[in-house]
Amino acid sequence: MAQDAATLTSILTAAPVVPVIIHDDVSTARALAEALVAGGLPNLEVTLRTPNALKVIAEMAKVEGAVVGSGTVRDLDTMKASVDAGCRFMVSPGAPVKLLEDAETIGIPLLPGIASPTEAMAASLMGYSYLKFFPAEAMGGAPVLKAFASPLPDLKFCPTGGISLANAKTYLSLPNVVCVGGSWVVPGDKVAAGDFDGIKALAAEAAALAG
């Protein structure tokens, strides 16, 4: 099965920002997810960079309205584990052919990362129309994605990496950008302090970018 574009369309168009979450505290996972969802950001990318990431995902997946995905997916084992934890989508930093092939055996869609036209074209040839542009700012930012639009009109992107409230609107104004990924809505100091009202406020500010 090629990339499930219909499912990804539904997920990625639900809000302008996908929070990129690095979280290891299972006990606060649900509260964090509830704050983000209440603020208007239902899609949550939990990166597989901490020991308890899969447990965090499983807790967040219990939150009503949350659509939880795994990030930093790099192989078939982590894709299978993502499904078992309750993920509804997956995100990878790159798009090696084997990863795309393995993803075809998994029942939830993968958003693979690309950083160049060649990588985007290679993924497209394998049936992928939604791609993560990563690391967005380091690779040239919005001007690069704007340049992609004409020769690659059938591809849609979720730029991630260096995105902030200050530059998100610039990316979202591009015709080939469906949403952006960002960690600014889950700052470490607010998470550590249990300031979930503050996180909800940041989420609401980000959700308003859709207007």
HEC secondary structure over 19-30: EEECCCCHHHHH
pLDDT tens digits for 162-201?
Answer: 999 999 999 999 999 999 999 999 999 999 999 999 999 9
Residue 65 region, left (φ>0) first, then alpha (ψ -120 to 50), else beta? left
pLDDT given for residue 3 in this prediction: 86
pLDDT given for residue 101 in this prediction: 96
Predicted structure pTM score: 0.96
Residues 204 and 182: their CA atoms lie apart, in Å, by 14
- Residue range 125-136: average pLDDT? 97
- Residue range 42-71: average pLDDT? 98
pLDDT given for residue 2 in this prediction: 64
Q: Which domains does the chain have, with CATH numbers?
A: 5-203 (3.20.20.70)
Catalytic residues: 45, 132
Structure tokens at 46: 């939990």
pLDDT surpasses 80 at 85? yes
